[in-house]
Structure 1
Amino acid sequence: MSEQPSPVKKFTGYHATMMIVGFFAVVVAVNLVMAQFALSTFSGTVVDNSYVASQKYNKWLEQARHQQANGWTVSPAVRKAGKASIAITTTDGAGLQGATMVAIAEHPIGQSEPFEVSFTQAGAGEYQSVQTLPAGRWKLKIVITQDDKNMRVVRDIW
């Protein structure tokens, strides 16, 4: 018994066109998905104008040296009952007492307007925000002042 050979299907211009269109459709779809992920997770620019920032670089280094001379260590910001909580210790490990702390809370991708957050001392070296922070991720630009010493830090809080 002989088998009938199956008919050979021809590769036509239609098939080539569909392969090329399919390839580019996949590339465009992946690019759109990746662009959406990039835009939804981008935390913003470090500086708005790099030329101006380069002119201020030495001044920033000097400020950083002065801040290090204070010997303060600032913990990451954590949420406690919806409020930001930050611990500050001195070189001997004791909590920093009697400092004033204010911050500007910014949404990392600009979905909300920045607002000011004030802090009060909640314990030995622990400072808690007076205002409740809205849900989500926030960048806190904090200024800590005690007598003639000051320190600027940035902390993310989730």
Structure 2
Amino acid sequence: MSAEMPKPREFTGKHMLVSILAFFTVVIGVNVTMATLAQTSWTGLVVENTYVASQQFNEEAKKGRAQAALGWKGKLTVASGEVRYSLVDSQGKPVPLRGVKVLFRHPAYEAEDEALTLAAVAGGAGSADAFAVRHTPRNGVWIVEIDADAGLASPFRDVRRVMISNGALQ
């Protein structure tokens, strides 16, 4: 009886070529994917010109201290498809507003930023106690920048970081 022994498989030049091509295809594919994701995501740019921003810092800090001295508190509500904002003074009385603008900024993606102009919902004689707009922000973390015109030299500025879940402020 003669038993034929199977010929052992050899690692040939073709196998080496396929291995090298597969390796570099994976490496190049990952690099292209990462470069594309980096190009389409947040740039990291906070201000256009850091020198100019640094020169304006003291003036902005002075405005912030003057605003804090007023003792006013803003109330932001996001629920039932509506964004609402009102302002009260240090005694809890409503501050009449002329206009309110709200910017929902996504911390990582500028493309998702949403600017809103709120409309008066109560009050009379050209001013209102509260402003609102029909809008449902997407779920996630947002930086909300509110500029409320209360008749001061510059708008009352209210900036806060909020979490939206199921269309409501958490």
Asked whether the two chains share a fold, i.e. TM above 0.5, the reply is yes
Match of 2:130 among 110, 127, 147: 127
Q: How many residues are treated as equivalent by the alignment?
A: 148
| Alpha-carbon shift at residue 116 of structure 1 (Å) | 4.5
- The separation in 1 between residues aligned to 2:113 and 2:65, in whole angstroms, is 33
Match of 1:4 in 2: 6
Q: Which runs of 5+ in 2 are unaligned?
A: none
Q: Is the Cα contact below 8 Å between 2:102 and 2:147 reproduced in 1?
A: yes
- Cα separation, partners in 2 of 1:77 and 1:46, compared to 1, 3 Å: farther
Q: Is the Cα contact below 8 Å between 2:95 and 2:150 reproduced in 1?
A: no
- The separation in 2 between residues aligned to 1:117 and 1:43, in whole angstroms, is 29
- The separation in 2 between residues aligned to 1:147 and 1:114, in whole angstroms, is 22
Identity of counterpart residues, as a percentage? Answer: 18
TM-score in terms of structure 1 length:
0.62
| Alpha-carbon shift at residue 119 of structure 1 (Å) | 3.2
Match of 1:75 in 2: 75
- The separation in 1 between residues aligned to 2:43 and 2:129, in whole angstroms, is 27
Q: Which runs of 5+ in 1 are unaligned?
A: none
Matches within 5 A, 1:52-67: 52-67=52-67
Matches within 5 A, 1:105-144: 109=110, 116-121=117-122, 127-129=130-132, 132-133=134-135, 136=137, 141-144=146-149
- Cα separation, partners in 2 of 1:140 and 1:57, compared to 1, 3 Å: closer
- The separation in 2 between residues aligned to 1:120 and 1:153, in whole angstroms, is 20
Match of 2:84 in 1: 85
TM-score in terms of structure 2 length:
0.59
